[in-house]
Structure 1
């Protein structure tokens, strides 16, 4: 028996060597596969933006995976953004992603470069600058968001702004025009469409039915979903978010037209990465970014009507009110002040 002990030891040593070799080869292959999958970032685009930080992070991560380019979003307020450009504090800034009105100001100041591509040419004229210095990538329309129980129990529901104002048996939730530009667009667009005097008369009729002027865009929709109001005058993105959470809601687009907030993008005139910035714009107009945003509960309507995500939205033929571009900042402030003084705070 003792003579087999050396053979047994030799056998165990051979087995150990074989197992060690297999383990090494497995680790080497695994490391090679990881190395093959990893692609180092080669370029960076720096973008001023006013969109939510979380949303910007989603876009940046998705584009880096797609194009091997890092998008460095710098979050700023609208006023801060404009101040940076006024003071020429824009070194190494390539692009701006923000509300279209901000880009209109930058275009007027000759801070953006003209840009056009086949994808951008598809976009409707109302969603882009006439000189191609910026282009809208998605928008968020104002909708009437009804509680389904209210719809079932009422043979007639308001389908227009005038019908909403004239209905005396309805409870309305809406965001305070003073705290959100997306909500205030209703006031400005109606003022351009119907003139300021008629709009104020309309708002005077609506005011007594308002259960609450909320501080956030989501609150009116939640109120309607909980049965605290019959209708919310709200942005569509919040309504869809609550519908996807199984709240009993239904969306209706005002037949006489609605307002919207347009998010747009432009390339800074002095950017040294014009080609890369243009590619990023093309990507923003595609489906990949919208799919990623929707997975993370951001629901906006693409301006590219040929995209698959655009075709999924029910309201593809929305009637829009005037673009509210005849009012400058002073005129808009005067309209808002009149609403606050003579309607919002007057009882």
Structure 2
């Protein structure tokens, strides 16, 4: 038996070398494929949209143009931190983000002029005055009203002032300190009415049969389930539940309303101008509507050719004419002010 030991050791060594060689070859092929894939991804985009939406947009754009776009999903805060303090990370060609993030990044000189075909169709109120970013779509604040309640009282429920007169209405209102979108809504009210009038109005609402919710989807779900009669919500969530057959209607406030704007900016690191322009032009096209609605995202668009929906009473959407020149710090200060002066009433 001893004479076979060297042969066994040699055979084992040969098998080990073959195994290691196969592994090294597989790793080399994998690296080559990744390098080829990376080379094909000429455009890198950071986006604060849901990952499923980002993947849907990248796939649809490739099918339409044959051009590859890599879209990395990040939160608003993470995107802003990553872009403004890049370090050794790969720099994006474009960013898709909320309006306030685009304003902040643009103010730091990290966005360049975004001149593309179709930009002229974006209404002036939805783009930067220096053309550093363009608005793509927006999500307005609306009333989601129980279908049964609307049948009885809908004719008296068409605006912000009507809410405070509905003494028998169970109202669900957003916690204005819970999210950036809720804070944006609060800032818009203050910009339109001033602090004192806003505080007086919100106190009047709080005297009604009101409860607060921290997330938008919960607001709509409670209306659909009959727990409340009316909720102040974002249109996208309300339209999603409505499309699924929930017993609710959408009402646009007659006086106007606030909106959460999503846009796109071209960064100073972009070197693929033609591909970037093609992607931005595609985002401004009707193709995007199909992609978003497949992901249950229902929004309004910043380009004039897109038709606007009407509400349950046949009214068209009216937006408050605001400039939204507040900062993140300013929004936080207002949210704290609302907590102290209205929600808990410690200060007057």
Task: Compute the TM-score of the two structures, normalised by the length of structure 1.
Answer: 0.82
Is it true that 1:68 corresponds to 2:66 in the alignment? yes
Distance 1:314 1:155, change over 3 A: closer
- Is 1:125 paired with 2:124? yes
Question: Secondary structure, in 3 states, of the residue corresponding to 2:112?
Answer: coil
Classify the secondary structure of the residue corresponding to 1:55.
Answer: helix
| Cα displacement string for residues 30-83 of structure 1 (whole angstroms, at most 9, x for unaligned residues) | xxxxxxxxxx99443111111111111111111122222222122222222222
Match of 1:311 among 298, 307, 312: 307
| Residue 175 (1) aligns with residue 165 (2) | no
What runs of 5+ residues in structure 2 fail to find an aligned partner? 1-37
Shift of 1:243: 0.8
Q: CA deviation at 1:152?
A: 1.4
Q: How much does 1:249 deviate? A: 1.3
Change (3 A) 1:326 1:115: closer
CA distance in 2, matches of 1:273, 1:100: 24
Correspondence list, 1:100-249, <5 A: 100-154=99-153, 156-209=155-208, 211-249=210-248
Q: Which residue of 1 aligns with 2:85?
A: 87
Equivalent pair of 1:138/1:263 in contact (CA under 8 Å): yes
CA distance in 1, matches of 2:174, 2:188: 16
Q: Secondary structure of 2:139's partner?
A: strand
Alpha carbons 2:309, 2:316 under 8 Å: kept: no
C-alpha separation between the residues in 2 aligned to 1:324 and 1:217?
24
Secondary structure of 1:323's counterpart equals coil
The verdict on how the C-alpha distance between 1:207 and 1:193 changes in structure 2, with shifts beyond 3 A counting, is: same
DSSP-derived class of the 1:264 partner: strand
- Residues 256-304 of structure 1: per-residue CA shift (max 9 Å, x gap): 1100001000111121112211110000011112112212311111212
Q: Distance in 2 between matches of 1:75 and 1:117?
A: 24
C-alpha displacement of 1:153: 1.7
- Structure ID, larger Rg: 1
Q: 1:211, 1:166 → 2: CA distance?
A: 13
Does structure 1 retain, via aligned residues, the 8 Å contact 2:41–2:70? no
Residues 2-38 of structure 1: CA deviation (Å, up to 9, x unaligned): xxxxxxxxxxxxxxxxxxxxxxxxxxxxxxxxxxxxx
| CA distance in 1: counterparts of 2:157 and 2:338, whole angstroms | 22
**C-alpha RMSD of matched pairs (Å):** 2.2
**Partner Cα separation in structure 2 for residue 175 and residue 55 of structure 1:** 25
CA contact (8 A) 2:308 2:317 kept: no
Once the two structures are superposed, residues 177-207 of structure 1 have per-residue CA deviations (whole angstroms, 9 ceiling, x without a partner) of 2222223222111100000111111111112
SS in 1 for 2:307: helix
Deviates more, 1:187-196 or 1:289-298: 289-298
CA distance in 2: counterparts of 1:257 and 1:276, whole angstroms: 38
Structure 1 Cα separation of the partners of residues 210 and 222 of structure 2: 9
* 1:257 counterpart = 2:256: yes
Whether the 8 Å contact between 2:138 and 2:299 is mirrored in structure 1 is: yes
Question: Contact conserved, 1:174 with 1:210, CA < 8 A, in 2?
Answer: no
CA contact (8 A) 1:151 1:157 kept: no
